[in-house]
Amino acid sequence: MTNPSIKTRETLEAEEHLRLSVRAAFADESRGRANEIAPDPYRTDYQRDRDRIIHCKAFRRLSHKTQVFLAPEGDHYRTRLTHTLEVSQISRSISRALGLNEDLTEAISLGHDLGHTPFGHTGESALHEVLQRLAAEDDSAPKGYHHNEQSLRIVERLEYEGKGLNLTHEVRDGIVGHTGVLVPETLEGQIVRIADRIAYVNHDIDDAIRAGVLDEAELPRMPLQVLGVRGAQRITTMINDMITASADSDVIRMSPEVWDGMMELRAFLFQNVYFSERAKAEEPKAHAVVQALFLHYLAEPDDLPADERPTEPSLAVQAVVDYVAGMTDRFAIREYERLFVPRKWLV
C-alpha cells in the first residue's frame, strides 16, 4: 500500500494539470525520448532530465570555462557555470509566475551552454573559422561551429560514453533553440532564450566594471531610465515586463520599450566591452591555442585519448572538434604547453 505522504511521479504529474496553465508543457504529455525507458517512481521526465544534466561531465566542466574575461584575477567573475545558474534562476522565476513548467525550464537552462568551448566566444570563433576553411576544401567537414548545436550533440551523442543523456524532446528542443534561428516549440524554451540575454547583459556589465574595463558613468542613459540604474533593478524590470507582456500571449516576449532598452545595452557591451582592447587583450593568444590544438590533433589523431579517437578516417574532424570543444580553459593551456612549448621553457 502506497504511503499517502509520499509524492509519486503520478501524483506530481496530476498536480501539474491542476496548478499549471493550459499553455504549459506537461511532463506526462512529453513527446518522449529517442530511447524509451521505464518511468521513474518519484520524478517526472523533466525532473529526471534536469538531474541527468547536473550529473554529467560537461556540466562540471562549465566551472572552468570563460564567460567573458579570459583568466581573470579574482574570484568574483562569472564563469559558464555561474552564468548557467543565473539563467536558471531568472527562467524559473518567469516560468513560475506564468504558470508554466518550472522543471522543464530548469532542465533547458542547465543544459543550454554545455557546448561552449574553452575561452568563451573566442574559442567558438577559432573553431568556426578553422572548420570553415576545412569545409571549403572538404564537403564532408562540418560547415562551422555553433555552441548550441554542440550542446545538443553532447546530450544526444557524447555523454555517458557515447550513449548520450537520452533527454526528452522538449529539453533537447529548448537547448538547441536557445540561440540561433530556431525558436523553441515550448514557452518554457522561449523563456530560456530571452533569460539568457537578461543574464549576460547584466552580469557582463557588473564584471566589466569590476575589471576596470567600464565605468558605470559610461552606460547609455536611455536604457537605464527604462530598466533601472542598478543591475538588480534592471533584472527585476525585465523579468516583470516579460511576465506581464507574455501573460496573454501565445509567445514569450517583452514590451517593445523594455526589449529595445535591453538590446541597446547589449549593443553598447559589444562595442565597449566585448571588443575593447583591455577585455580582449589575451584573445589572439587564446584563438591561436584553440586552432593549434585542433590542427595538431587532426594531423595526429593518435595523440587523442584512446576513447576519443575516431573509429574511421571520415570521423576524424568531428572527433577532434568534440575533444577540443570539451576542454576547459586551463586544460587547453596545459595541453598547448605540453605539445608546443619546450620543457626547459616551462617554469
**pLDDT on residue 67:** 76
**pLDDT on residue 345:** 63
pLDDT tens readout for residues 7-63: 999 999 999 999 999 999 999 999 999 999 999 999 999 999 999 999 999 999 999
Residue 71, pLDDT above cutoff 60: no
Q: How far apart are CA 309 and CA 301, in angstroms?
A: 6
**pLDDT on residue 83:** 94
Residue 175, pLDDT above cutoff 60: yes
Q: Mean pLDDT throughout 323-340?
A: 96
Indicate the pTM of the whole model.
Answer: 0.95
**Strands of 137-286, DSSP E:** none
For 77-107, letters b (16+ CB in 10 Å) and e give: bbbbbbbbbbbbbbbbbbbebbebbbbbbbb
Q: How far apart are CA 101 and CA 109, in angstroms?
A: 13
**pLDDT on residue 137:** 87
pLDDT tens readout for residues 152-164: 999 999 999 999 9
Q: How far apart are CA 258 and CA 197, in angstroms?
A: 13
CATH topology of domain 45-345: Hypothetical protein af1432 (1.10.3210)
Work out the pLDDT band at 213, boundaries 50, 70, 90.
confident
Using DSSP's 3-state secondary structure scheme, residue 163 falls into coil
Q: Mean pLDDT throughout 227-256?
A: 96
DSSP class of residue 253 equals: -
Query: Could you tell me the residue ranges of all domains in the chain?
Result: 45-345
Q: What are phi and psi of 168, to 5 degrees?
A: -70, 160
Q: Mean pLDDT throughout 233-256?
A: 97
- Please indicate whether residue 210 or residue 77 has the higher confidence score (pLDDT): 210
